[in-house]
Structure 1
Amino acid sequence: MVRGKIQIKMIENTTSRQVTFSKRRKGLFKKAHELSVLCDAQVAAIIFSQKGRVYDFASSDIQKMIKRHAEHKREYFVAESHPIEQYVQGLKKEMITMVEKIEMLEVHNRKLMGQSLASCSMKELNDIATQIEKSLHIVRSRKVREKNKSTEGKKLKCDERDLKDERFRLCGRVGERPMGMPSGSKEREDVETDLVIGFPKSRP
């Protein structure tokens, strides 16, 4: 005969509920004992009844097991929160480093502008002067290149304009040639010359 599936819900009858509690509690402790023996595991179970009574089972000293459990939970929560704390501390250090770099750059820029030089040593002043000279050299070189580009551009435009003027001038000269004058670089005269070899023929 197939046993029907028991629906898990609170037993309404008080007596039946107490009987079921007693049976299930003993069965749970029996299973816990079997687990500890078969698997060589430390097992503990604590049950609080509806009336507040405490029932417990432990394969060893239950106080030591509870203490061990508490220590394990504390270590677990510390381990879980430790990466977050490390991340936050890393962000703080990175922010402090960036602020220090910004302050150093601001001080350096003020010195390059000729400000806050009273605290500079002779070496620092020489370094600042060298850097300024290098910067000026770069700026001057850039200016020369830009000026040469501008001059070359203007020269090309002048040459282009001169070529256009020369073309218009040549076209004007071609247009002033007398009508009927054949084209060419030299004027030619048509001369009819007959070269006859032998006796001359009588003309009709």
Structure 2
Amino acid sequence: MGRGKIEIKRIENSSNRQVTYSKRKNGILKKAKEISVLCDAQVSLIIFGVSGKMHEYISPSTTLIDVLDRYQRASGKTLWDAKHENLSNEIDRIKKENDSMQIELRHLKGEDITSLNYKELMALEDALENGLSGVREKKMEVHRMFKRNDKILEEQNKELNFLLQQHLALEGVGNMHGQWI
């Protein structure tokens, strides 16, 4: 006994629609894996649900970029142009620069320096000495600023104490005459 045919149209009930989406999504992902394994086909499947969540399957023997390049060549449709290619190259360049900076940072921390030659170690030592010199200069500048602020506060404190003493003296004179100021 087989199933009856259903009319292919949007399912109005949202919970029924979600259940059907989940089941059919899992089914189509399973079929994509099966055709990839059984037939040695290169398969790339991307599904975006209503929520925006992405589900994908890409054959282990390929990458999404390879499949899309092949699609672009076979269909004649342009998926990305030179501008996108330039952006991709720029991303690759920035990733390499980031990797290089990560290595340099590790070296500055004294990590992974066994592979460095004498010239590289000398350059690293110079960079560290320059950095240390800059830190010391900044520390002295901050120290001088604190001393300056300390002197200013001390002078203001003396002035306030003097004014307080004058006020107390005047108050004392006022009290002697029976008056409050």
* TM interval, short-chain normalised: 0.3 to 0.5
Larger Rg: 1
Q: TM-score, normalised by structure 2?
A: 0.47
Does 1 or 2 have the higher relative contact order (CA < 8 Å, sep 6+)?
Answer: 2
Q: Which has the higher helix share?
A: 2
Q: TM-score, normalised by structure 1?
A: 0.42
